[in-house]
Structure 1
Amino acid sequence: MKTCSTLRQLILLALVPVVVACSEGKAPQNDTASAPPPAVSDQPAPENSRPAGVDAIRLLAADSEPGNWMSHGRTYAEQRYSPLARINLDNVEQLGLAWSFDFGTARGIEATSIVVDGVMYTTSSWSVVHALDARTGKELWTYDPKVARDKVRHGCCGPVNRGVAVWEGQVFVGVFDGRLVALDAATGEQNWSVATIDPELPYTITGAPRIIDGRVLIGNGGAEFGVRGFIAAYDAGSGEQLWKFYTVPGNPDEPFENDAMKMAAETWNGKWWELGGGGGTVWDSMAYDPQLNLLYFGVGNGAPWNREIRSPGGGDNLFLSSIVAVRPDNGEYVWHYQTTPGETWDYTATQHIILADVEIDGSTRKVLMQAPKNGFFYVLDRTDGSLISAENYIDINWATHVDPETGRPVEVEGARYVDSPYTVTPSYLGGHNWHPMSFSPDTGLVYIPVLDFPASYGQPEEFVYRPGFANTGADGIVGSLPDDQATRDALRPLIKGRLLAWNPVTQTEAFRVEHRGAWNGGMLTTAGGLLFQGTADGEFVAFNAATGEKQWAFPTQTGVVAPGITYEIDGEQYVSVNVGWGGAFALVFGEFVQPESLPNVSRVLTFKLGAEKQLPPVEWKPVVVFNPPERTADEATEREGFGLYQDICMGCHGLNAVSGLLVPDLRGSALLHTADGWDKVVREGLLAERGMASFARHLSKEQSEAIRAYVISQAWRGNELQQSLAKEE
């Protein structure tokens, strides 16, 4: 149901600026530390007759209510900048824990909380929604959509969820199994639920919905598992689907849905629709410009990743790894920009999109900014998608630069690993993953949670398409860790993460803060001159947004990947962040997970000036108890198991069977001692209710046994290493 007409929006837009301009790309002197808080922060939120009484008028005028955080990025521009300044450089050291709320889960926590009129709406893993009193953390209600635990097999990165959207008394959540659910904001009771996907296909939803004029927008994930990506809009009142925009073309022997799909099909070869649909899922980023009436979203990787298999003979493969602009009213295509034509490394463009009005070469430009996985920072004209500039924000070795005339990256010979393996920087987790950036109009800087490490790719000896499982099309053994421990130890310093402050006008680094490890949290900036970020080694930190100097930190007892928010109630400012280690890096790169990242203690932590609450102590040690059975398999069987493990098991249980301990480390499993018990779990689904699905359709008993033989070999390796380290101590 629409609540304001297009004419009414235009009237509002004449009064309310969408974004704040920054001057000449230079970071101005930040005097907010000594200045009083802006007067607007003293204005009370408008009274509403019901909870979550958010509508188009309030969202368009979000800056007039800085005490609320009403949408995913606070405003449609997704800048994650708050005008609140009661907490600032002068007093941030007085920040203390006001309250905490335990989620009661041990999976990754990635949500941005929504706060409207004193109530916080947030999510934990498995798409569970919580409504809390934002003053005290008192639980008001909880909604559990009861996701079948074995659905986790279709998720690359665990059953994570990035939050909800609110509109006219309802809370909307995209559920991991593909449902879109509307809840009564007062009670948490379900108003309606629709299946946004075919439940027989391996789609998932981990992203947060967005709402534009009564239309709930949601995408999905699961590209390499075998799906065709799309974004769709649903009526907020009824759940009726209003439109759908596919991101890759279907079978060209059948009618195309629109002219955009006809255009895209010309950039594909082979029979991609038979390998899971082509991929291109819209699993995270969206932004909206009300003045232009354009919805922008990022598109993911291909299925399989490897273009040689997906589209033999080449092709750009639109709209993979692209930013696409459509009309939110009907999904009509307007323009696109492809960041990685013919992507073949899992270089998605689903990373955070920020809109701003920026002065470039003496004139104000309406820009869209993104730092996708491929390592380049893009500044586009958001009116037409034309390239303004692109420079690499980390050192990369797959391309030398982006050609300013064509907008295409100039690739390095051999980077596509067609004839021989190639070690590429950045890895398939990217130079920047889903963790949100932020932009400060005060400094003119974009703050990026950067990843910096390589990955090796190679052509597989034989590609076997397995519906419902990750089909990368890259050789899993080539992409594995070396067997020699000294070589693995030498890789550890290469697994880096940092906070990067980037000037989008000059396309240069302003400053950096090196973190102890990778996979650090998203960003929040405020008018108080502060930049907040959680870290992988268990801290929530406030930095000086102009210099990067550390101002304050709080020990979170777990790694932090979610971004913070800030809000105000009764003249008191709060800063809040959801904590709990998880996601792709935590699952796959167990060898390099810092002990400080664990245990997973999933909570909401909320701070205010003068508060002094403490968290209870945590007693936990990340130790695998090795007790492997005799190693009886021959080398050929172990190698077969190695390849199968890397293709099928690695996404949950870690590279080379080294777990990040969010799920059981198989090297310490008692099931290694009995082939029958192992097979009952792997092929018969004995532990399906705990998330371990049956693989009987895809693995023979002999293949299951080969995987067990490989894990036994890695258990012996781990046991010998553990004993060696014990002797050294």
Structure 2
Amino acid sequence: MNRFTLAVCAALIATSAHAQVTDEDLANDQSDTSQVVTNGMGRDLQRYSPLEILNKDNVKNLVPAWAFSMGGEKQRGQEAQPIVYDGIIYVTGSYSRLFAIDAMTGKEVWQYDARLPEGILPCCDVINRGAAIYGDKIFFGTLDARLVALDRKTGDVVWNKKMENYKEGYSYTAAPMIVDGKVIVGNSGGEFGVVGAVSAYDAETGDMLWKRPTIEGHMGELNGEPSTMTGEMNKTWPGDMWKTGGGATWLGGSYDAETDTLVFGAGNPAPWNSHLRGAGEPNDDNSGDNLYAASRLGIDPATGEIKWHFQTTPREGWDFDGVNEVVAFTDRDGNKRFGTADRNGFFYVLNREDGAFVTAHPFVKEITWAEGIDETGRPIYNEANRPGNPLAAADGEKGETIFSVPSFLGGKNWMPMSFSQKTGNFYVPSNEWGMDIWNEPISYKKGAAYLGAGFTIKPLYEDYIGALKALDPMTGEIKWEYHNEAPLWAGVMSTAGGLVFTGNPEGEFLALDDETGEVLWSFQTGSGIVGQPITWEQDGEQYVSILSGWGGAVPLWGGEVASKVNYLNQGAMLWTFRLPKQLASAE
């Protein structure tokens, strides 16, 4: 065999090694710094990188490498996390688009547009939060509730499956997750009286393997046959309310490999008016809890059976939801825990084995709806701060208005936090705001908004709304906080180099000191940032990417807060930065 043949064989071996994304690649995503192949930079969603080429001393030398425009007429909220594999970046954009981009040059390789039908019903902007990669395919969901598999090299459609009926209010916005060859997905549409569910599809064929509804009374599916009922019919729901009970799983989930458990959050019960759901008054038997809405669920990835549940806001009446990400971590004492920062303003720590409650602490200020969390993990309600029952009002049209903190957009909304293995702290993007909220009569109509409430969001303080907080999960102590005039709506990433990255609506991409919160570097991207940062290593240099493009729920639902940010320009740019080798040691 001559030298030329040896070289060709070596090239073919190298190429074949990168031809398929394997289960091992997904499992090792955090430790393999040459790629980012999972949403969350690891299926535990820690969003932490062990890279330390870029650090506190040299981050000032971080420079733009290239910028890619996804814009045109489709410049809306850009909330996705990019995927990086084999020299290609895969990133989704608004209106259900997916781009493949050369990671070195920023040149487009291919683009896929889902070409959405008329009549889609997105709740909170036409966003998409990312794709999943496995084998030779890239997967993502669309706003008309379809799951699409594309050839990752060409962008050609391999299969395209209808998950739900978009005309009923269903949509899909989360990044899928891959576990054991299954594409694991949630659904969106809780404001339309849909029924939340977690489903698994065969990555090769697109066949649905199982489906687990997240509202009591609905039957699950396994291999095309009915399996088991979720919960017990009418145990915590009155009458037929469970049939349109909400509980959408619109943020996707995490996977804890050590316990082989999927962890998904189920969103708000429908309608928002808790008095209509038999949940407006205290009770002794918890019959008005409306399971499994506003809950975290541990699910068996093989069968879709529920292993455990923890409900953060039973009798939910403020749209505090329950989908916020659940992050697997090990605390400073070696305990294996889950951490989750709920929209209701409390940070919960749960046991990884069974989801049992460990502790909870407030992470935002001036919470009004509850006095605290009891030893079982249930809220100690301030019932005077529950929006009033319209049927008790003189005109029967509008219940008593109350001022509640936090607002329905939450102490923390969808934007993902980060856990640093270096400091043992969580870095939580939060907002300090409240709302006037009242209940109204409502009846279900297919494809129509199903709220039964009105609201106006108001800031708590004149000088800031957004607050990025470094939180000790063992004590609840806030180590530091960075204040931002506008609400924070972007994801967070921490690194072994002592850095915390995030962005703000004013367009600044920021790197902060993980121990003090001091801003060490910033770059103006030209539009508000509501995306999710990532980092990876390429040719011995560390790269960082972020999507810039203002949008999401705040300008649509923000009330008085929205008026504070109505001057911001839309955009759709993927910015990529690098630390040149010659500047890595420069101070």
Say yes or no: does 1:297 pair with 2:264.
yes
Q: Determine which of 188, 200, 212 is the counterpart of 1:221.
A: 188
Corresponding residue for residue 524 of structure 2: 555
**Could you say which residue in structure 1 is the equivalent of 2:418?**
438
The residue type equivalent to 1:589 in the other structure is G
For the pair 1:118 / 2:87, whether they are aligned, the reply is: yes
* Structure 1 residue aligned with 2:576: 606
Question: 1:400 maps to what in 2?
Answer: 371
CA contact (8 A) 2:217 2:233 kept: no
Tell me which residue corresponds to 2:5. none
Q: Is the 8 A contact 1:100 1:604 kept in 2?
A: yes
Q: Distance in 1 between matches of 2:75 and 2:436?
A: 30
Cα deviation for residue 421 of structure 1 reads 1.9
TM-score of the aligned structures, taking structure 2 as reference length: 0.89
Residue 413 of structure 1 deviates from its aligned partner by 2.4
Tell me the distance in 2 between the aligned counterparts of 1:595 and 1:449.
Answer: 18
Q: Structure 2 CA distance, aligned partners of 1:458 and 1:534? A: 33
**How far off is 1:313 after superposition?**
6.8
Note if contact 1:435-1:522 (Cα within 8 Å) is conserved in structure 2: yes
Task: Please state how far the C-alpha of 1:559 moved relative to its aligned partner.
Answer: 0.8
* 2:298 maps to amino acid: A
Q: Secondary structure at the match of 1:533?
A: strand
Write the distance in 1 (CA, Å) between the matches of 2:269 and 2:404: 18
Q: 1:589 aligns with which of 534, 555, 558?
A: 558
1: CA distance, partners of 2:58 / 2:279: 60
User: How many angstroms apart in 2 are the aligned matches of 1:357 and 1:285?
Assistant: 22
Residue 421 of structure 1 pairs with residue 401 of structure 2:
yes
Task: Please give the residue correspondences for 1:166-181 in structure 2 after superposition, counting only pairs within 5 Å.
Answer: 166-181=133-148
How far is 1:148 from its partner?
2.1
Q: Deviations over 1:429-480 (max 9, x none)?
A: 00000001001010111001101111122232x4343432222111x3xx24
Kept after mapping to 2: 8 A contact 1:269/1:312: no
Q: Check if 1:133 corresponds to 2:112.
A: no
Query: What is the aligned counterpart of 1:344 among 308, 312, 317?
Result: 317
Which residue of structure 2 aligns with residue 516 of structure 1? 485
**What does residue 511 of structure 2 align with?**
542
Question: What are the residue-to-residue correspondences of 1:295-334 with 2, within 5 Å?
Answer: 295-311=262-278, 315-334=288-307
Q: CA deviation at 1:49?
A: 2.0
Matching residue of 1:465: 444
Match of 1:375 in 2: 345
> Which one-letter code corresponds to 1:373 in the other structure?
R
Structure 2 matches for 1:10-89, cutoff 5 A?
47-49=14-16, 53-89=20-56
Q: Return the alpha-carbon distance in structure 2 between the equivalents of residues 463 and 112 of structure 1.
A: 37
Q: CA deviation at 1:51?
A: 5.9
Aligned to 1:221, the other structure's residue is in SS state coil
Would the aligned equivalents of 1:581 and 1:597 in 2 still touch at CA under 8 Å? no
Structure 1 Cα separation of the partners of residues 559 and 439 of structure 2:
25
Distance verdict in 2 for CA 1:284–1:235, change over 3 Å? same
Structure 1 CA distance, aligned partners of 2:339 and 2:451? 28
Q: Secondary structure at the match of 1:493?
A: coil
After TM superposition, give the deviation of residue 288 of structure 1 in Å: 0.9
Q: Deviations over 1:135-187 (max 9, x none)?
A: 11110000001012531xx2111110000000001000111111000000010
1:488-521 Cα deviation digits (max 9, x unpaired): 8x97728711101100011111100011111331
Distance apart, 1:224 and its partner CA:
1.9
Distance 1:558 1:383 in 2: 42
Equivalents in 2 of 1:329, 1:189: separation in Å?
29
Q: Single out whichever of 62-71 and 326-335 deviates more from structure 2.
A: 62-71
Counterpart in the other structure of 1:652: none
2:433 aligned residue (444, 453, 475)? 453
Q: CA deviation at 1:273?
A: 4.1
Structure number with higher strand proportion = 2
Maintained 8 Å contact 1:397/1:412: yes
Paired amino acid for 1:468: G
Q: 2: distance between equivalents of 1:261 and 1:584?
A: 30
Say if 2:264 and 2:325, in contact at 8 Å, map to a contact too: no
CA distance in 2, matches of 1:549, 1:52: 42
Give the direction of change, closer, same or farther, for the CA distance of 1:407–1:494 in structure 2 (3 Å limit).
Answer: farther
- Alignment partners' CA distance in 2, 1:346 and 1:257: 31
Q: Distance in 2 between matches of 1:605 and 1:544?
A: 21
Per-residue deviation, 1:52? 6.4
SS at structure 2 position matched to 1:458: strand
| 2:551 match: secondary structure | coil
How far apart, in 1, do the equivalents of 2:174 and 2:266 lie?
Answer: 13
Specify the code of the residue in structure 1 equivalent to 2:326: I
How much does 1:201 deviate?
1.8
* Aligned pair partner of 2:75 in 94, 97, 106: 106
Match of 1:233 in 2: 200
The answer (yes or no) to whether the contact 1:376–1:391 under 8 Å persists in 2 is yes
* Whole-Å separation in 2 of the counterparts to 1:330 and 1:259: 10
| Overall identity of the aligned pairs, in % | 40
Alpha carbons of 1:108 and 1:145: their partners in 2 closer, same or farther (altered >3 Å)?
A: same
Q: What amino acid is aligned across from residue 400 of structure 1 in structure 2?
A: E
Query: 1:359 matched to which residue of 2?
Result: 332
Residue 288 of structure 1: aligned partner: 255
SS of the residue corresponding to residue 58 of structure 1 reads: helix
Is this contact kept in 1: 2:218–2:229, CA < 8 A? no
Query: 1:463 is matched by which residue type in structure 2?
Result: I
Structure 2 residue matching 1:150: 3-state secondary structure:
coil
Name the one with the larger helix percent: 1
Q: What's the secondary structure of 1:414's corresponding residue?
A: helix
**In 2 relative to 1, CA 491–342 (structure 1 residues): closer, same or farther, beyond 3 Å?**
closer
Q: C-alpha separation between the residues in 1 aligned to 2:289 and 2:276?
A: 14
Aligned partners of 1:72 and 1:114 also within 8 Å: yes
AA partner of residue 192 (structure 1):
W
* Aligned residue in 2 for 1:197: 164
Check whether the contact 2:29–2:38 (CA below 8 A) recurs between aligned residues: no
- 1:536–1:596 CA contact under 8 A, matched in 2: no
SS at match of 2:439: coil
Is 2:497 aligned against 1:528? yes
Q: Deviations over 1:216-267 (max 9, x none)?
A: 0111111121211101000000000000000002479xxx966562436411
Measure the CA separation in 2 of the matches of 1:70 and 1:238: 21
Q: How does 1:665-680 map to 2 (within 5 A)?
A: none
Amino acid aligned to 1:333: I
Q: 1:230 to 1:373 in 2, by over 3 A?
A: same
SS in 2 for 1:147: coil
TM-score (norm 1): 0.72
